[in-house]
A and B are shown apart, each in its own frame.
Chain A
């Protein structure tokens, strides 16, 4: 399988609701609002939509959504397994559908009430787990031991990573300080206007010792993001198309759902290694072409782990890469310029794709000058997007 797409597909529309701690309306309405906004951005009528793609974890029923928005005919739809790690999989699905000619205008969306609804980070042991992972490896083998949340699943990997790399909580904190600095300058971020220092990070309470403090965690967020994907013909008419240059990885399940604790070396994210091979080596994109990166930072340790596993630095070198300021403005890999999931909010990773589109349109709050190629990854799925 190759990350290189045979046909061409572009993102032509981006829409989102406000991100908040209490949306005060249903996920279906949030999705509908984001979709209508994305179509307006694309300059396409609702009636043009003939494809839908979201995630198995998404609570919105397609039937209710289609009837609410008034989409007359859906010819193709799909869902990417789970959510966060699969967040960029919707772009692969949409681009593949467009390339195959089974749909012309595909809407990819994620709507979530992760704070006012079923909180992702709350400890639950019921069969109806907060993050729909009952029956999976985590549900069966972690729950009996009180390992109940994504942070606690990930912590077992992160402690091993610290052991292998020598990275410390302060090293994770330096990445968080950068995410919060970007968020501070983004009026739409959860932590707009609220930067922190490394001392603030170190003073935040432990969630999972010795690797995850409160400030290492993403923000449980209410909101929705929608993207409109179409082929080259229609994209040529849109105001600011963004080409999907490479997309890969929707089927790499080894590490889903952040709970595969059985791989030989947990200090490496094997799915990111596989993803990088597809996007870069097979997809024909050079790592040195990436002007800006959006890397899934549900918890700060996995940001450093992905930097290494994607090949942007060597094993154990992410802590130095971060300390040297390479994620910040002017660095070698400005990263998560919306503030990431830690500072910006957590629409399960699809908000990182939105920020990638803004960078390529020159409309980011933390614009990287001359950005033409942006990488978006979430451990096992990823895309490379290009201007035009």
Chain B
């Protein structure tokens, strides 16, 4: 669901860029993006490109229920970016049972059925 507060994240993803919201007031990084900085209450907020590397903080292999838009098991993960923010995402190019907490990962971009792109992650160094 694209809203005025998250549009920058998804439009960057369509261009193959992973961005994080940066507050111009106090320089804090935040994800998910918000309409106001919860640290300093500034509304002067922008987007900054992330390096795209991080580690798996947690994960789950989702088996059921199933929706036709996804392949199962869905490898759902929380990835802590090196910049210090966390994303809900999917892991790709990995055998589901090989996923481990602490695994180093890097961003990739996966096209969606309806023409958008979502940032996902794969093991770092994967071809």
Contacts and interface: CB of A to CB of B under 8 A. Distances in A.
Interface of A: 121-125, 127, 134-135, 137, 139-149, 152, 155-160, 163, 205-212, 214, 261-262, 266
A103 to B, nearest CB: 35
A160 B67 contact: no
Which size bracket describes the interface of B in this complex?
A: 20 to 34
29 contacts: A135-B1, A139-B1, A140-B6, A141-B32, A143-B1, A145-B89, A145-B118, A147-B62, A148-B67, A149-B65, A152-B60, A152-B76, A156-B77, A157-B58, A159-B59, A159-B101, A160-B57, A205-B63, A207-B62, A208-B62, A208-B76, A209-B60, A209-B61, A209-B63, A210-B61, A211-B60, A261-B88, A262-B85, A266-B58
B66 interface: yes
Given A143-B1, A146-B67, 12 more contacts: A121-B65, A123-B67, A134-B1, A145-B90, A146-B70, A148-B67, A156-B76, A156-B78, A160-B101, A163-B58, A208-B62, A212-B60
B69 interface: yes
A125 B67 CA distance: 8
Contacts of B90: 145-146
Contacts of B74: 145-147, 152
Given A140-B6, A261-B88, A156 B67 contact: no
Interface of B: 1, 3, 6, 31-32, 57-67, 69-70, 73-74, 76-78, 85-90, 101, 112, 118, 120
A138 B92 CA distance: 21
A214 to B, nearest CB: 8
Nearest to A148: B67
Nearest to B116: A144
Contacts of A158: 60
A144 B61 contact: no
A146 B62 contact: yes
A68 to B, nearest CB: 34
A143 B6 CA distance: 14
Nearest to B13: A144
B56 to A, nearest CB: 10
B54 to A, nearest CB: 14
Q: Which 5 A-B pairs have the closest CB atoms?
A: A155-B60, A160-B58, A146-B70, A146-B74, A123-B67
Given A123-B65, A124-B67, A262-B86, A156 B118 contact: no
Contact of B118 (A135, A144, A205, A214): A144
A287 B90 CA distance: 41
Contacts of A123: 65-67
Contacts of B112: 144
A163 B99 CA distance: 13
